């Protein structure tokens, strides 16, 4: 079965950093656009960052620009999200999702993604 597994979440203080990983099994990520989503209790799901299948194009929500960096290593079938200067507002469950297309302008639209991970909790608190 096609699977995505996130890891790397945890509890950090404001200003701290975390690196999330998303590992695919059952399929190769070479042909997939990947978006990191996040969702906090009582809030709508938000697209955080996207990377095209080749890695040539990246996208970021305005709220994380300059702080988060998305990257991929297709040889390892893995996508990463480096999160720096974390804020309490970043607290959420983070999900990676895969869409079998090189890229899409509406990279933050949940309906485009056929595969989802189980999520990893990120908590930013002092």
Q: What one-character-per-residue DSSP string does 1-26 give?
A: --EEEEE--EEE-TT--EEEEEEEES
Q: Give how far the C-alpha of residue 56 lies from the chain's centroid of Cα atoms, to the nearest Å.
A: 16
- Cα separation, 63 vs 18, in Å, equals 16
* pLDDT, the chain, mean: 96
Regions in the chain scoring below 50 on pLDDT: none
Looking at residue 27, its pLDDT comes to 85
Looking at residue 32, its pLDDT comes to 96
- Cα separation, 41 vs 66, in Å, equals 25
């Amino acid at each position: 079965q096609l699977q995505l597994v996130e890891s790397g979440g945890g509890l950090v203080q404001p200003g701290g950093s975390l690196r999330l990983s998303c590992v695919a099994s059952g399929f190769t990520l070479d042909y997939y656009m990947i978006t990191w989503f996040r969702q906090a209790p009582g809030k709508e799901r938000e697209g955080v960052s996207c990377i095209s299948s080749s890695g040539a194009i990246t996208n970021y929500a305005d709220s994380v620009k300059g702080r988060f960096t998305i990257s991929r290593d297709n040889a390892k079938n893995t996508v990463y999200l480096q999160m720096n200067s974390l804020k309490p507002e970043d607290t959420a469950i983070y999900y990676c999702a895969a869409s079998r297309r090189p890229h899409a302008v509406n990279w933050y639209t949940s309906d485009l993604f056929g595969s989802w991970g189980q999520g990893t909790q990120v908590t930013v608190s002092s």
